Chain A
């Protein structure tokens, strides 16, 4: 998988560049054939990610990358399925899908490029914008408390919860590789500086705070660590529990309904 001369639509310096490289390298090192990988995304700057990678993709509606990924995985458990979209897309518009997909625990990876702001629509508050931050539609300051995505994922029972930082590409690559390898739903929230609309949570701001952690199997401990924010921010795999049952759909693609199946239905329900 090599980088192509795409006309990349992100602002120069966007955190998404680092995430793209980490994801590309992770897929390359995992040596999964591009044909076996499907990326799904919604709408937003982060959702453009699949455009700039050499895999299959379904770039769908705002907020709906996750149910698309669920449908694909249920139909084709043989494929590696990764949803990648921003905080507005996955935590806001698609918040309900985020909650309920974690409950399913299918073997999919959810990558959230979290810049704490709406980029594509020019700087409005997102679900992860801090309280009181002034943005175009909240000129008096954001009146809403921010969503804590990792704590939420942990409370919902997510078996793999991680955080990465766009600038620490090698570390992020390792986290993404571990997330894809994990058999179950892996949630990776990625700190992604928005150089145009978020003047608070900059490369410098995150850089001063991030420190690497090793995974725990205690969800309460993981929540405690995930909640560090003002002074220090943990990155890495925070929580990993392989004992949680994973749903393993049947591979239906290689089996088709037969005449005998129909005869069974007619006898059972209609005779």
Chain B
């Protein structure tokens, strides 16, 4: 059943922009969010699009509020820009009774009004931006702060006039805070985090929804001491990254699940050769090609088990933009410290959601330590904890020998089976180093709450908002979010007394993969799972409804 969300004092405005690919929906989204970001409005934007370049049916959603928002609300919409008949038909019923519909007819009118006034082909779309801003009571004089081109500003002002004529000027007023926030989508945050972590090399093969990580690197590489290489396939990408890491640069690759499948032998090579490597996997619904432009959390089990043989790894899944930056940044420290693969799992939802950062980005860049070594250097020298010192070719007298075969301390092939035992134990010793380096989950709510909703990765802020809403009536639900999803150590959760609570595990997949892991590795008794696997993200409304249904049913 549907439970009403308590709106409280917060004012918000939910906008949907719907049409075909090629109508310029993204340009409108970016135009609006750019102005909002520069003039101190809080917003959250995400999109639902088909795997095609032209046509089809796509929609972009922007939530504007007078306080920070980091999820889709999921109830009725306050304004709909509908570019075609299908968009009107599909979305008209989701409009608030006092919502604003700007449909095909309005757009025709707009076109006629603008005819002759401006030559720019994007005139209508730019005027639509003005109409949206007019609806939230944006004062035209603030436009100056947005640093827009003159005739772009003129068209936006035209939109204001049209909104006034249509009678919805200031219909849904939103307060702004006059503070400029930086804005990121999830993939930009990961890419920036990697650069902050000292990553100077990325090789990758394009695949939605990981491609925007590559775009960021390729653009940054034009000015920064960073190299981006478009590889012929994902197998080459992971091997190039390993070559670059061996040669001395912090290196990474990225893909979606299908591309990562191809990298798994390379992952095993990183494990065997103890070569630091970071891989980012941006999930989309599978199996196989699946739904290329939609979201899912279906690759967790694959990442835990990827690669033949036994070798340690850590897997992180950021839940916020801040976490994405911090986790990506720290991944390169961990990769060098542990000399094993560090994997970061994200998904289309986080990748394509534009959010504001209420946090000061640290601008100092971490760097790899490069210490020359003597002739006596042995790449796989036995040490107390299994981690041998790293060095790189050509910077000292050392020779660096690295082998995918089982090897001796020098890195030469061996079939000495006693040595094999010691080498396995050396590699596996990393599991023992990991607990103090692990990232604890984030608890939200009353520690005494009867119910706890467990989640991981991109669902963090959706669940957190839903819990806040539910607890306004009766505070009985808390949330625990994991951004380190593997390995899980009991000390990560010991302080929350989960054994005595009813636990709901929420995730975007059909199998309850994380719930399974919590049972297996932490021995938790999961009361039930809350799953979604149609390719769309959860909304706050939906999570509220489903949690209330579950808790009523199981109480």
A residues whose Cβ falls under 8 Å from a Cβ of B: 9, 33-36, 38, 40, 43, 48, 50-51, 54-61, 63-64, 67-72, 74-76, 78-79, 96-97, 99-100, 249-250, 252-253, 255-259, 261-266, 269-271
When the two chains form their complex, are residues A75 and B397 in contact, meaning their CB atoms are under 8 A apart?
no
When the two chains form their complex, are residues B195 and A40 in contact, meaning their CB atoms are under 8 A apart?
no
Bound Cα distance A264, B192 (Å):
12
B247 at the interface (CB under 8 A from A): yes
**A70 in contact with B229 given A57-B402, A79-B247, A259-B364 (CB within 8 Å):** yes
Report which of A34, A56, A250, A259 forms a contact with B363, defined as CB distance below 8 A: A259
Closest to A98 in B: B232
**A96 in contact with B403 given A74-B244, A256-B367, A261-B223 (CB within 8 Å):** no
Chosen A-B contacts, 19 in total, with CB atoms closer than 8 Å, are: A50-B401, A58-B242, A59-B413, A60-B239, A61-B266, A61-B404, A68-B240, A71-B203, A71-B246, A72-B243, A72-B247, A255-B225, A256-B198, A256-B225, A256-B367, A257-B198, A270-B182, A270-B184, A270-B357
Report which of B224, B247, B266 forms a contact with A38, defined as CB distance below 8 A: B247
Rounded to whole Å, the gap between the CB of B427 and the closest CB of chain A is 17
When the two chains form their complex, are residues A257 and B200 in contact, meaning their CB atoms are under 8 A apart?
yes
When the two chains form their complex, are residues A261 and B239 in contact, meaning their CB atoms are under 8 A apart?
no
When the two chains form their complex, are residues B195 and A257 in contact, meaning their CB atoms are under 8 A apart?
yes
1/0 contact string of B23-43 vs chain A (CB within 8 Å): 000000000000001100000
Residue of B195, B226, B227, B393 with most chain A CB atoms under a 10 A cut-off: B393
Rounded to whole Å, the gap between the CB of B451 and the closest CB of chain A is 37
Closest to A99 in B: B232
Bound Cα distance A76, B393 (Å):
9
Give the interface size bracket for B toward A.
35 or more
When the two chains form their complex, are residues B240 and A35 in contact, meaning their CB atoms are under 8 A apart?
no
List chain B residues, Cβ under 8 A from A58.
242-243, 246, 273, 402
Q: Give how many A-B residue pairs fall within 8 Å (CB-CB).
A: 196
When the two chains form their complex, are residues B183 and A74 in contact, meaning their CB atoms are under 8 A apart?
no
When the two chains form their complex, are residues A74 and B192 in contact, meaning their CB atoms are under 8 A apart?
no
When the two chains form their complex, are residues A70 and B240 in contact, meaning their CB atoms are under 8 A apart?
yes
Closest to B237 in A: A67
List chain A residues, Cβ under 8 A from B236.
64, 67, 70, 96-97, 100
When the two chains form their complex, are residues A266 and B198 in contact, meaning their CB atoms are under 8 A apart?
no
B394 at the interface (CB under 8 A from A): yes
Interface residues of B in 289-306 (CB under 8 A from A): none
Residue of A33, A50, A99, A257 with most chain B CB atoms under a 10 A cut-off: A257
Report which of A34, A38, A253, A269 forms a contact with B188, defined as CB distance below 8 A: A269
List chain A residues, Cβ under 8 A from B201.
71, 74-75, 252
Rounded to whole Å, the gap between the CB of A249 and the closest CB of chain B is 7
When the two chains form their complex, are residues A259 and B243 in contact, meaning their CB atoms are under 8 A apart?
no
List chain B residues, Cβ under 8 A from A72.
243-244, 246-247, 393
List chain B residues, Cβ under 8 A from A264.
223-224
Report which of B219, B244, B269, B405 forms a contact with A71, defined as CB distance below 8 A: B244
B249 at the interface (CB under 8 A from A): yes
Residue of A68, A250, A271 with most chain B CB atoms under a 10 A cut-off: A68
Rounded to whole Å, the gap between the CB of B313 and the closest CB of chain A is 18
**A35 in contact with B393 given A56-B399, A70-B243, A271-B38 (CB within 8 Å):** yes
Rounded to whole Å, the gap between the CB of B40 and the closest CB of chain A is 12
